[in-house]
Structure 1
Amino acid sequence: MTVELSPEFFASAFVGHLAEAGAQDLLEVARSWQPDLILHESTEYGGYLAAECLGIPHGALDIAPMAPYAHPVVTEELNRQRGKLGLAPVSDAWHTFRAFRAGVVPEDFYPTDSRLPSARYYQVPAQSAQGALDPDIAQLSTDRPLVLATLGSNATRLPGGAQTLLETIVETLGELPVTGVVALGADRDPRQWDGARPDNVHLTSFVQQELLLRSSDLFITHAGFNGTREALAAGVPMVAVPLFAEQSHNAGRLQQLGVGTRIDVQDVTRNSLAEAARNVLEDRSYRSRAQGLQRRSHALPDLNRLVEDAAALVA
């Protein structure tokens, strides 16, 4: 079933346990290194705490826009960690990002109440390391919509390896008038797949996702942020089946924006998945809204601009 990221768990694990250890390590390194700035990932609070102790500028690269940063229990835990380091409490729930936050999706993706004056937004360059597209995929039929489905690199490590969900996805695509590509996971050899093998569904262990999304009509995804970002940059609407972490929040936001629809794992059947896929494929408004976000993504400055903007914090 879909596991929701609760504010209590986020506060305890990320703002508490991990941040406390990370801050101590960074402060030890800083004694000799003496950094002028700490730029940390948005869910990594150790960098923020260390910078506050050192009295130096700090900012965040936002890798999880929908995490519960502003929840009161998160602020409470943040102040508990600040107290341990002799720092005064803060009342601003967005204090961690107030000086500088670097987003890698358009501002439109963010709910209105989490759009900060300090935020800057960038487009991530295409990954040249992916190489050329798999020739077998390039030769697939072009007379039907192309649907890409993947559950990410961590899905096969889950209890049961998400096998049942993958089987449902493959069987569902086999019943639809589409050309399907299903990435089973980097450690899953498609030759050893013992589930259904519909003629219109290509099974692979790995797919050059960013490349293939450019020519896809629909993305069935677990709504991890990186895949979500890549799909939006390609203007591809989604059917989101969140598994864990903040994926459920990402999926909910996609549905709010009208660029996708959400189905929790426990509600996935061949019928429900087929209905969702047909709806997104046939209702052109999903594609139009996704392409709107794509255009706004393309209007953002390149990620390299982040260096200049971060340096301005020190100046």
Structure 2
Amino acid sequence: MTTRKRAHIAMFSIAAHGHVNPSLEVIRELVARGHRVTYAIPHAFEEKVAETGAEPVLYRTTLPGPDDDPSAWGDTLLDNVEPFLADAVHALPQLAAAYEGDEPDLVLHDITSYPARVLARRWGVPEVSLSPNLVAWEGYEEEVAEPMWAEPRRTERGRAYYERFENWLTENGVTEHPDPFVGRPPRSLVLIPKALQPHADRVDEGVHTFVGACQGDRAAQGDWERPAYAEKVLLVSLGSSFTKQPDFYRECVKAFGDLPGWHVVLQVGRHVEAGELGDLPGNIEVRSWVPQLAVLRKADAFITHAGAGGSQEGLATGTPMVAVPQAVDQFGNADMLQALGVARHVPREEADARTLREAVLALVDDPEVARRLSEVRAGMAGEGGTKRAADLIEEEIVRGRRDGGVKRRGTGA
């Protein structure tokens, strides 16, 4: 059961491509259905959000920006998580003030947006997580989280982090421990194919619904034309964050430069210049950014960092992948892709020219890889994507109104 009664839906995210991009087509669809959608986001993504028809609600962030050097995120687990808590403390008063008198009927939020969850509970409205990557399964805490946190928890810094988090939650009326607050949302739409989810058979689908890729046509990002001479096209991209890898790009040039019939699109990000890569053969196209989905639709192979977005784009376009993970969930994604039979996982320290070339050539010549990609694509097509996500969000609005949980305020009432 869905509703076409106009609602005010508030989306909350951070200024990171991997967290904003997966939500955009869902937001565009909700606007097209007549809902008023506000989107809380730092200034760097104001234009991208506005293009969907949503109203940007701007706040000042303390997190590193999309153009900052990746080293700004540090190297350890605590380096990675502390900035999100600090940003939440900083952002919550701004967001509460921005929405005062204009509270929404439903809160959508990226998994990194802690203030959204606090505000949803303060306002008494349904909260729905839009997860751009894997979600916790039954046993996740014992198998992954506890071993990962064992050492940090023993340090003074780790104990101080949890104390700050617990105090912040308590001050804002949340009695939940930080771990389930972050990792166990009451309702979640998972914006990746189920094929990319580890232990999918142990995920509570009463909470998490896999809607798969919500990609849209991406026409606004521009197109890409395959050169007339190219018999095969390879895209190399390490995403948007961990791109400061000139040594790796030089290995790619060495592996595929002047390879007969091949054209290589090498996306190097903002922190590497083409001049750092030495003499470039004519078949190597170096770009700081490309419309990735447009290139993949015409590509024959993909060397990727195995981020959630890139992984599912490779699957959706049926492109064999060599996965060279750089950080966080990418290692697990690389293993999942290899287990699906559509990719090779090459650890970063083993990604030399010979290994990369052999892996790519083996994949594109293997009919079994093509067959598995076809099967995975067919499964993804049945997950529903953008329209199913919007349907399920509307069901949550109906349920909230029926249960009396939605406080009808402001212009979205």
TM-score tier (shorter): 0.7 to 0.9
| Structure-to-structure mapping, 1:267-278, within 5 angstroms | 267-278=350-361
Cα-Cα RMSD: 3.5
The residue that corresponds to 2:54 in the other structure is none
Structure 1's unaligned 5+ residue stretches are none
Aligned partner of 1:150: which letter?
Answer: S
The residue that corresponds to 2:252 in the other structure is 169
Aligned partner of 1:127: which letter?
Answer: R
The residue that corresponds to 2:42 in the other structure is none
Deviations 1:159-203 (A, max 9, x none): xxx21111111110137555132233465775x565243354444
The separation in 2 between residues aligned to 1:219 and 1:274, in whole angstroms, is 12
Does residue 302 of structure 2 align to residue 219 of structure 1?
yes
Which of 44, 49, 56 matches 2:118?
Answer: 49
Q: Shift of the alpha carbon at 1:63?
A: 1.6
Deviations 1:90-146 (A, max 9, x none): 598487554321222222211124453222314421211133423xx331322xx33
The residue that corresponds to 2:83 in the other structure is 13
Q: Summarize the Cα distance change of 1:127–1:81 in structure 2 as closer, same or farther, 3 Å threshold.
A: same
Q: Summarize the Cα distance change of 1:289–1:233 in structure 2 as closer, same or farther, 3 Å threshold.
A: same
Which of 106, 109, 126 matches 2:193?
Answer: 106
The residue that corresponds to 2:217 in the other structure is 126
Q: Which moved more, 1:43-52 or 1:90-99?
A: 90-99
Does structure 2 conserve the Cα–Cα contact (< 8 Å) formed by 1:67 and 1:249?
Answer: no
SS of equivalent residue, structure 1 residue 228: helix
Q: Shift of the alpha carbon at 1:242?
A: 1.9
Aligned partner of 2:248: which letter?
Answer: L
Number of paired residues? 304
Does residue 103 of structure 2 align to residue 65 of structure 1?
no
The separation in 1 between residues aligned to 2:170 and 2:254, in whole angstroms, is 54
Aligned partner of 2:86: which letter?
Answer: H
The residue that corresponds to 2:29 in the other structure is none
The separation in 1 between residues aligned to 2:287 and 2:98, in whole angstroms, is 44
SS of equivalent residue, structure 1 residue 229: helix
Aligned partner of 2:217: which letter?
Answer: A
The residue that corresponds to 1:140 in the other structure is 229
Aligned partner of 1:207: which letter?
Answer: V
Q: Shift of the alpha carbon at 1:80?
A: 5.4
Does structure 1 conserve the Cα–Cα contact (< 8 Å) formed by 2:136 and 2:184?
Answer: no
Q: Shift of the alpha carbon at 1:254?
A: 1.9
SS of equivalent residue, structure 2 residue 86: helix
Aligned partner of 2:105: which letter?
Answer: D
Q: Shift of the alpha carbon at 1:238?
A: 0.8
The residue that corresponds to 1:22 in the other structure is 91
Does structure 2 conserve the Cα–Cα contact (< 8 Å) formed by 1:61 and 1:103?
Answer: yes
Deviations 1:239-297 (A, max 9, x none): 11222343333223322333212223222211222232233233333333233222222
TM normalised by structure 2 equals 0.63
TM normalised by structure 1 equals 0.80
The separation in 2 between residues aligned to 1:225 and 1:284, in whole angstroms, is 25
The residue that corresponds to 2:109 in the other structure is 40
- % identical aligned pairs: 25
SS of equivalent residue, structure 1 residue 219: strand
Q: Summarize the Cα distance change of 1:258–1:66 in structure 2 as closer, same or farther, 3 Å threshold.
A: farther
Q: Which moved more, 1:250-259 or 1:35-44?
A: 250-259
